[in-house]
Amino acid sequence: MRLRREASLLPGLLAMGVGMGLSMTPSTEAITASLPRAKQGVASALNDVTREFGTALTHQATPLQYVTQGHQDG
């Protein structure tokens, strides 16, 4: 029973993964290309840190949302 409830998250996670994959490469390219070559490394690093921070927040918020919507074991 629990596996079926958790599997209900799969379509949304797949859509999010495809969307992120299709949008992150062009956005990183646009960010780094807009700066002089000497500053592109810093821009890329800042972009990656921002992405990792967003991912960490998402990983914390998803289980919280799942539990608060009444999807508890039992």
Does a structural domain hold residue 40?
A: yes
- Residue 29 counted as domain residue: yes
Q: Is residue 73 part of a domain?
A: no
pLDDT confidence band for 71 (50 / 70 / 90): low
Please give the tally of structural domains in the chain.
Answer: 1
Residue 74 falls inside a structural domain: no
* pLDDT tens-place string over residues 4-60: 777 888 898 899 889 988 988 888 888 889 999 999 999 989 989 998 998 888 878
The candidate with the shortest Cα–Cα distance to 15, out of 3, 27, 23, 25, is 23
Check: CB of residue 9 under 8 Å from CB of residue 66.
yes
pTM > 0.85: yes or no? no
Nearest to 25 by CA among 42, 48, 7, 6: 48
The answer to whether residue 45 sits within a structural domain is yes
59 occurs within a structural domain:
yes
Structural domain harbouring 25? 2-68
20, 5, 26, 28: which is closest to 55 by C-alpha?
Answer: 20
Determine the pLDDT at residue 73. Answer: 55
